[in-house]
Amino acid sequence: MKTVTLNNGVVMPLLGFGVYQIPAEDTERAVSDALAAGYRLLDTAAAYGNEEAVGHAIASSGIPRGDLFVTTKLWVQDAPAQDNTRRAFETSLTKLGLDHVDLYLMHQPFGDVYGQWRAMEALNREGLTRAIGVANFYPDRLIDLIVNNEITPAVNQIETHPFFQRTDYHALMREHGVQHQSWGGFAEGKNDLFANPLLADVGKDYGKSVAQVVLRWLTQRDVITIPKSVRAERMAENFDVFDFDLTDEQMAEIATLDTGRSLFFDHHDPEIVAWLAKRRLDA
């Protein structure tokens, strides 16, 4: 597996498996299938409600802990967030059945962001999470967080797919040592992505599917990607993306698909902010 080295020296796989929207009762089987297919990076979150099932799949896999890279995410916490963040982290750790995670992400740039981040810095210093990062941070929020804190986020996990490519932001993050990670790499199939003629045409040169072209396009840009699927055959297809390279011309063609806009949530829309920022998890 190709890897990237984060700004604190931690090595992270470039391709992994995401479990958003997999019902808890199906997650253990899906993660077990993904591990059998070769995935070693697993991406879950407290808000997905399936950390326990991910933990069961890890425990029954027999794979040495050091070979796995497990990410989970902190949901929005009220101020003062120091204690709340530690409690939320401990809950995640218990549900996962682990003694540390590899990457802990702040899921949204809302709530007591600075209290949350300082608590995450403490968890990182104590070795309870090998790296810390953020998700859904737009450039203004990311730079302010970097400037006002000791630890620069190792990763920013943001919506990134052929219709929202984040090219300028990618360069800015690289300048600051923040690793770009894609969520929704397939745009969850929106805009009829899997039938896109340009992507299908590129794939024909290599005998690859649209999904494989998208994953290679992301990884060739050094963007970590975590496709989700509940089907073993698609997990295998999505894992088989490192035996071909897209040409510069093909990368330039794919660049023309960028609309520069989110297909999901606009984190600057006051209604979306209020909806996300007010949500609290039950446990």
Task: Please list the active-site residues.
Answer: 48
| Interatomic CA distance for residues 49 and 10, integer angstroms | 27
What's the token pair of residue 250?
């093909």
| 2, 231, 268, 278: residue in contact with ligand NAP (rule CB under 6 A) | 231
Minimum distance from residue 248 beta carbon to ligand NAP (Å) = 25
Q: Which residue's CB atom is positioned nearest to ligand NAP?
A: 18
**Footprint on residues 83-112 left by ligand NAP (CB under 6 A):** 107
Is there binding between residue 162 and ligand NAP (CB under 6 A)? no
| Interatomic CA distance for residues 47 and 147, integer angstroms | 28
Is there binding between residue 49 and ligand NAP (CB under 6 A)? no
Is there binding between residue 135 and ligand NAP (CB under 6 A)? yes
Closest CB to ligand NAP among 121 and 188?
A: 188
- Dmax over CA atoms of the chain, in Å, equals 55
Is there binding between residue 136 and ligand NAP (CB under 6 A)? yes
Is there binding between residue 137 and ligand NAP (CB under 6 A)? no
Site size with ligand NAP, rule: CB under 6 A: 27
| Interatomic CA distance for residues 220 and 207, integer angstroms | 18
Closest CB to ligand NAP among 115 and 184?
A: 184
| 145, 238, 239, 250: residue in contact with ligand NAP (rule CB under 6 A) | 238
SS3 readout for 176-225: CCCEEEEECCCHHHHHHHHHCHHHHHHHHCCCCCHHHHHHHHHHHCCCEE
Q: Helices then strands (H, E): number in the chain?
A: 11, 10
| 29, 234, 251, 263: residue in contact with ligand NAP (rule CB under 6 A) | 234
CA atoms within 13 A on the CB side of 142: 28
| 93, 226, 241, 246: residue in contact with ligand NAP (rule CB under 6 A) | 226
Is there binding between residue 18 and ligand NAP (CB under 6 A)? yes
Sorted by sequence, the CB contacts under 8 Å of residue 74 that are 6+ apart come out as 46, 85, 88, 89, 92, 104, 105, 106, 107, 116, 120
Is there binding between residue 194 and ligand NAP (CB under 6 A)? yes
| Interatomic CA distance for residues 86 and 229, integer angstroms | 31
What is the contact surface with ligand NAP in residues (CB under 6 A)?
18-21, 43, 107, 135-136, 157, 183-189, 194, 211, 226-231, 234, 237-238
